Amino acid sequence: MGIINVQLNVYIKIKSAFFIVLLLGSAFQIKAQSQRELEIHVQNSKVLLEQQKYTLAMTALLPAINAGNNFKNAPQALYLYSVAALKANKLKEANDQVQKILQEYQTWDNLDEARYVGANIAFEQQNFAKALTLLQDIKDPDFEADKSAIKQNYLERINNKAQLSALVQQFPEDKDVAVVYANKLINGWYASPDKNTLETIVSKFNLDKSKYTPKASAALSRKGQYNVAVLLPFPVTEKDPATIRKNQFITDLYSGMIMARDSLAKNNITINLFAYDAPSDTNKVKEVLNLPEMTGMDLIIGPVYKSANKIISRFAQQHQIIAINPLSEDISLIQNNPYLYLFQASLTSQGTKAADFAYDNFSSKSAVLVYDNTENGLEFARAYRLQYEKRGGKITAIKAVSPKSYGGTVYGGIDFSTVGHLLIYSDNYALAVNTISTLQRLSTKVPVITTASWLEINQLSLQQLDDQEIYFLQPKYVDSTLPLVREFKKDYVARFNIPPSSYTYTGFELLYYFGNILSRYGSKFNTALASEGAISGAFLQGINFTGKQDNQYVPLLKLENLQIMVANPVFK
């Protein structure tokens, strides 16, 4: 589980001033330093934390950590180190520093911050009892919302009934634990022996009885038809032809949903679509969500803009209505909220699944990692490296490149005889061409995982790509040669006078999949979806939300005799 799902902005609550100080040459040497010098290291670490340079932040803090009690702000240094280590997924190191604070600095003014981070670490290690105990020890009322959110986020992921039931018994006064368990009971776990437990929880915590009775839950959750709100930036008032063409993807997305709605109706699943204009203007999104009918929706699709995420997150959690972002790959949009989902695989999941594929399929467990020096490139590369090394692989070299310019020196000094595979997360055509040229000169093939954009590079022929062992990441791959796809395209063109795009297929798959989920489990399908398992899509290669809130299936394509095949099908 990646730590970016964890809310870790608590360190900014620390009362000491925040000074931006430039890093000092070789200041990391471990030697006796003045209080001022040690304080500079602490302030430097804060800058690096803000920049998400977690390993560097840990390094910057080492002099202060090693000074121990000789540094007056030692607990603050230990705390910041634990935050950086947790962000870097170094859980043992993070835990060691938190435990030192809790044991040696019990009078520190910010001890609750340490307890909160300690709870994050314990949750990540799946030590739920320890995490809940640490949160229980936090008395500062300012933490109440954060405590509730993090408990709900992690406890929702528990799919073992006995495990969660034991936590309810161990923490009988914790309302958050009890409510998560009650929700899971009425959403699929309930059996007749649970009657007294459920009634006790409802009575003790004054919950709405109408929502927490098995019969009422089934009646409310599964019904004859479902209302789905679609919040997209529809170009309803746009007149400029160029802008209309630019926004065609929204029309395509919604048209795919219309086709899915009609297909579901043939299977006696009635979905009522309600379209609302939800542009980047957050005030307009608020206006839509304030409409009286919105609280009666069974599902919300959208909005698509990141600016509206806090608004939809608050609304979804308050009214317990699941909302799905149809296009984003940003996992931060769904953190700490079990009612938010990404239909796409996040960049973090793409990196993780690609690393799993490499480790499972390439005999040599070493890799060279090359990625675009962008926010997306860094997120993918970080996830890939963490997972590959976690599995036991070794990254022998890491190269960040410009997405637009390329100097041709990225492979300088690399001994390819020791390279198990290349991971190249870049659309840079010059880098792609240089990589193929480099591989062609080698006596043995070196496997490559890269983006599907390489298949569109005019300077490379399909034969050149076929001659190498290259795997292409393409989450939205649709096999246009299949009869079902050809038939859909024919029907779509007849209806809309335009061929379907990748957004059309996304819109269809999203509503068709979740329409069937609604039909089987009703609108409160969180728990059921977590254990639903992988399926083949109608057009997309696969859909899988097992244990996560973004699609966990990421297709990897490969050329075989100039024909595209899926190297990791959902079902082999």
* DSSP codes of every residue in 422-468: EEEE---HHHHHHHHHHHHTSSS---EEEEGGGGG-TTS-HHHHHHS
Cβ-Cβ contacts under 8 Å for 430 (sequence gap 6 or more): 405, 406, 408
Q: Residue 335: which of 307, 311, 313, 304 has the closest Cα?
A: 313
Same-domain pairing of 67 and 193 = no
Same-domain pairing of 47 and 147 = yes
Residue 15 lies in a domain: yes
Last residue of a domain, one of 473, 494, 512: 473
Pairwise CA distance, residues 26 & 485, whole Å: 61
Residue 235 lies in a domain: no
- 3-state DSSP assignment of residue 384: helix
Phi then psi for residue 526, to 5 deg, are: -50, -55
Same-domain pairing of 151 and 8 = yes
What is the domain-level CATH number for residue 60? Answer: 1.25.40.10
Residue 441 lies in a domain: yes
Residue 187 lies in a domain: yes
Same-domain pairing of 362 and 391 = yes
Same-domain pairing of 138 and 15 = yes
Residue 533 lies in a domain: no
Last residue of a domain, one of 157, 184, 204: 157
Q: How far apart, in Å, do the first and last CA atoms of the chain sit?
A: 25
Q: How many CA atoms lie within 13 A of 301 on its CB side?
A: 31
Write down the pLDDT at residue 5.
Answer: 37
State the alpha helices, DSSP H only, in 88-160. Answer: 91-104, 111-124, 128-137, 144-155
Instruction: Return the amino acid letter for 82.
Output: S
Structurally, how many domains does the chain consist of?
3
Write down the pLDDT at residue 194.
Answer: 83
Same-domain pairing of 201 and 119 = no
Pairwise CA distance, residues 541 & 276, whole Å: 30
Residue 442 lies in a domain: yes
Q: Where are the beta strands (DSSP E) in 343-386?
A: 366-372
Write down the pLDDT at residue 152.
Answer: 86
Same-domain pairing of 144 and 9 = yes
- The residue range of the domain holding 397 is 348-473
Same-domain pairing of 133 and 187 = no
Q: C-alpha distances in angstroms, 131 versus 100, 119, 147, 562?
A: 16, 4, 10, 53
Strand partners, 272: 227
Give residue 335's Cα distance to chain centre. 7
Give residue 245's Cα distance to chain centre. 30
Write down the pLDDT at residue 217.
Answer: 53
What is the domain-level CATH number for residue 406? Answer: 3.40.50.2300
Same-domain pairing of 31 and 66 = yes
Pairwise CA distance, residues 343 & 326, whole Å: 5
Residue 264 lies in a domain: no
Q: Is the peptide bond before 75 cis (omega within 30 degrees of 0)?
A: no
| 74-78 own/partner pairs: CB under 8 Å, 24+ apart | 74/105, 75/101, 75/104, 75/105, 75/108, 75/110, 75/114, 76/14, 76/16, 76/42, 76/110, 77/38, 77/41, 77/42, 77/45, 78/105, 78/114
Residue 508 lies in a domain: no
Same-domain pairing of 75 and 182 = no
Q: What is the pLDDT of residues 435-473, one digit of tens each?
A: 999 999 999 999 999 999 999 999 999 999 999 999 999
Same-domain pairing of 141 and 181 = no
- 3-state DSSP assignment of residue 538: coil
Same-domain pairing of 151 and 179 = no
Write down the pLDDT at residue 223.
Answer: 77
Write down the pLDDT at residue 18.
Answer: 32
Q: Which tokens belong to 32?
A: 């006796």
Last residue of a domain, one of 110, 127, 157: 157
Record the pTM: 0.66
Pairwise CA distance, residues 386 & 393, whole Å: 10
In tens digits, what is the pLDDT along the chain, a chain of 572 residues?
333 333 444 443 433 323 333 333 333 343 446 778 878 878 888 888 888 888 898 988 888 888 878 888 888 889 999 999 998 888 899 999 999 999 999 999 889 999 999 999 999 888 999 999 999 999 899 999 899 989 988 888 786 788 899 999 999 999 999 999 998 887 767 777 888 999 999 999 999 888 887 655 544 556 789 999 999 998 765 556 666 677 899 999 999 999 999 999 998 899 999 999 999 999 999 999 999 999 999 999 999 999 999 999 999 999 999 999 999 999 999 988 889 999 999 999 999 999 999 999 999 999 999 999 999 999 999 999 999 999 999 999 999 998 887 767 789 889 999 999 999 999 999 999 999 999 999 999 999 999 999 999 999 999 999 999 999 999 999 999 888 899 999 999 999 999 999 999 999 999 999 999 999 888 988 888 888 889 989 999 999 999 899 999 999 999 999 999 999 998 76
